[in-house]
Amino acid sequence: MPTIEDVVCPFCGCLCDDIVVRVENGEIREVENACKFGAHRFLTVKKHRIKRPMIREGQEFKEVSYEEAIERAVEILTNAKKPLLYGFSSTSCEVHEVAIELAEVLGAVIDNTASVCHGPSVLAIQEVGYPSVTLGEVKNRADLVVYWACNPIHAHPRHMSRYTLFPRGMWTDKGKLDRFLVVVDVRRTETAEMADLFIKVKPGYDFEVLNALRTILRKGDIPTNEVGGVPKETLKELVERMKNCKFGIIFFGVGLTMSRGKHRNIAEAIKLVRDLNDYTKFSIMAMRGHYNVTGFNEVLTWESGFPFAVDFTRGYPWFNPGETDANSLLQNRDVDAALVIASDPAAHFPRESVRYLAKIPLVVIDPFESLTSKIADVVIPSKVVGIEEEGSAYRMDAVPLRLKKIIEAEGLLSDLEIMERILEGVRRRLSKTREAVAER
Ligand code: SF4
């Protein structure tokens, strides 16, 4: 059975690059080293697939050719005054590049799933900077690991075994014995069960706790006996551990970005890390979810100067989350068509946004059936990037990795081919419209 080594797992932001895959008769038969999510992604890649391009006719879908579906998508996008392009977190950077060009040509708004997960982190990073490192440095050096408002055992199952707690690093050669694990959360999670120190915070009080840690660090004390449900002595103990470690890191999750305080929580955590660097080496990193959510923020920033929620309707990039992010646009009924690729907003957005998304002309590009594909007007199936198509993606620490093609997907186009054809069709149609106007 042919064996493919050093495969990158296209599932979560860990982008584990040590996966071994065995293929027989064009099918993936065995997967080694992956967690259950990663193994499931490889072994069930042929299940729940969209088999043919489809166009809605009333309540039913009619199967059509790729050419017809792409032509209909082009028609929808060019007829719209202000289309929204959304998703992108589970596809390659090459697709992001074409999509951003498409948004610019159309005068559309482009946004990714960061706007409903780590968007506040990005805003805080723009405000106060990002003293971060790579996961390789964490593996080799970190002797104090803090997971704040995240549960990697569930969301990033190999994070601790590959990068933080268990691996033997260059200067942490006893693995777990060389490291101290702190978990800060509103409940005792599975990750908290493994902690050397678990700190339970009252829901919505992370900012106050972070601010108290900074105050203790600077002034040695605080005037109250507890903050956010955490006794002063526990906070002082954590500060001492942070000050006296050789290399510390805080990993934070959406429990911090999506609770009261949002980007203020992240800014305060970053400021704490900045303060700690007066005493020791300390760093911070967002636990990014989808495997290439970081990639989209990187590519959009090179191209437009802004990381997500970019509005090109003025002819230049305009960034104002709260106005230009997908949910605000849908809830304010401020877009009149949408293209969703490699994500499922109907499963995750608030009901009001989904209701409006279902009303406007909607194009969905995805390998798999989803709630969003069920409310679409045009559905275009694609290959799975990282299994049936190669491409580039950024790990959560912004290290780019190359995803491999493992098996063929006969009769399907890749996200990149589909987006390139849509871009070409849009350019052709817009130039015809311009010629017709000039002739009048
Ligand atoms: S931790 Fe994430 S990237 Fe690694 S194997 Fe599991 S799902 Fe894949």
Give the Å distances, CA to CA, from 65 to 69, 379, 381. 6, 11, 11
Nearest 5°: phi and psi at 49? -85, 150
The tokens for 270 are 């970053």
- What integer pLDDT is reported at residue 402 of this predicted model? 98
- Residue with the smallest CA separation from ligand 1 atom 2 is 12
Topology at the third CATH level for domain 54-116+292-439 = Rossmann fold (3.40.50)
- What integer pLDDT is reported at residue 132 of this predicted model? 92
**CA of 12, closest atom in ligand 1:** 2
The answer to whether the CB of 6 falls within 8 A of the CB of 17 is yes
pLDDT surpasses 90 at 175: no
What mean pLDDT comes out for the span 160-175? 92
Q: Does ligand 1 lie within 6 Å of residue 14's CB atom? A: yes
* Crossing angle of the two packed helices 232-244 and 206-219, in degrees rounded to 10: 60
Distance 157 CA to ligand 1 centre (A): 6
Distance 29 CA to ligand 1 centre (A): 18
The answer to whether the CB of 32 falls within 8 A of the CB of 18 is no
pLDDT surpasses 90 at 156: yes
- What integer pLDDT is reported at residue 413 of this predicted model? 98
Burial of 391 (C-beta count, 10 Å sphere; 0-12/13-18/19+): buried
- What integer pLDDT is reported at residue 166 of this predicted model? 93
Torsion region of 339: left, alpha or beta (phi above 0 gives left; psi -120 to 50 gives alpha) = beta
Tell me the pLDDT band of 301, cut-offs 50, 70 and 90.
very high
- The residue ranges of every structural domain in the chain are 3-43, 54-116+292-439, 119-286
C-alpha 187/C-alpha 200 separation (Å) is 6
**CA of 156, closest atom in ligand 1:** 1
- Report pLDDT digits (tens) over 240-261: 999 999 999 999 999 999 999 9
Tell me the pLDDT band of 439, cut-offs 50, 70 and 90.
confident
C-alpha 174/C-alpha 314 separation (Å) is 57
Which amino acid would we find at residue 226? E
Distance 395 CA to ligand 1 centre (A): 11
Sheet holding 144-148, edge to edge: 197-200, 180-185, 144-148, 247-252, 281-286
Do 54-116+292-439 and 119-286 share a fold? no
The answer to whether the CB of 383 falls within 8 A of the CB of 389 is yes
- Report pLDDT digits (tens) over 20-29: 999 999 999 9
- What integer pLDDT is reported at residue 176 of this predicted model? 84
pLDDT surpasses 90 at 17: yes
- Report pLDDT digits (tens) over 84-117: 999 999 999 999 999 999 999 999 999 999 988 8
Mutate to test the pocket of ligand 1, among 9, 291, 401 (most ligand atoms within 8 A of CB): 9
- Report pLDDT digits (tens) over 258-295: 999 999 999 999 999 999 999 999 999 999 999 999 99
- What integer pLDDT is reported at residue 111 of this predicted model? 98
What mean pLDDT comes out for the span 411-419? 98
Q: Does ligand 1 lie within 6 Å of residue 34's CB atom? A: yes
Q: Does ligand 1 lie within 6 Å of residue 35's CB atom? A: yes
Mutate to test the pocket of ligand 1, among 12, 287, 403 (most ligand atoms within 8 A of CB): 12
pLDDT surpasses 90 at 119: no
The CATH classification number of 119-286 equals 3.40.228.10
Q: Does ligand 1 lie within 6 Å of residue 158's CB atom? A: yes
Q: E strands of 52-164, at which residues? A: 54-57, 60-63, 83-87, 109-112, 144-148
Tell me the pLDDT band of 177, cut-offs 50, 70 and 90.
confident
Q: Does ligand 1 lie within 6 Å of residue 37's CB atom? A: yes
- β partners of residue 391: 403
pLDDT surpasses 90 at 440: no
- Whole-prediction pTM value? 0.95
The answer to whether the CB of 411 falls within 8 A of the CB of 302 is no
**CA of 159, closest atom in ligand 1:** 1
- What integer pLDDT is reported at residue 381 of this predicted model? 98
Tell me the pLDDT band of 391, cut-offs 50, 70 and 90.
very high
Share of the chain above pLDDT 70, in %: 100
The H or E element spanning position 197 is strand 197-200
Which amino acid would we find at residue 164? T
- Taking alpha carbons only, the member of 308, 398, 318 closest to residue 112 is 308
- Report pLDDT digits (tens) over 340-371: 999 999 999 999 999 999 999 999 999 999 99
- What integer pLDDT is reported at residue 84 of this predicted model? 98
Which amino acid would we find at residue 247? F
- What integer pLDDT is reported at residue 424 of this predicted model? 98
C-alpha 339/C-alpha 103 separation (Å) is 10
Tell me the pLDDT band of 437, cut-offs 50, 70 and 90.
confident
Distance 144 CA to ligand 1 centre (A): 23
- Residue with the smallest CA separation from ligand 1 atom 1 is 158
* SS3 readout for 252-316: ECHHHHCCCCCHHHHHHHHHHHHHHCCCCEEEEEECCCECCHHHHHHHHHHHHCCCCCEECCCCC
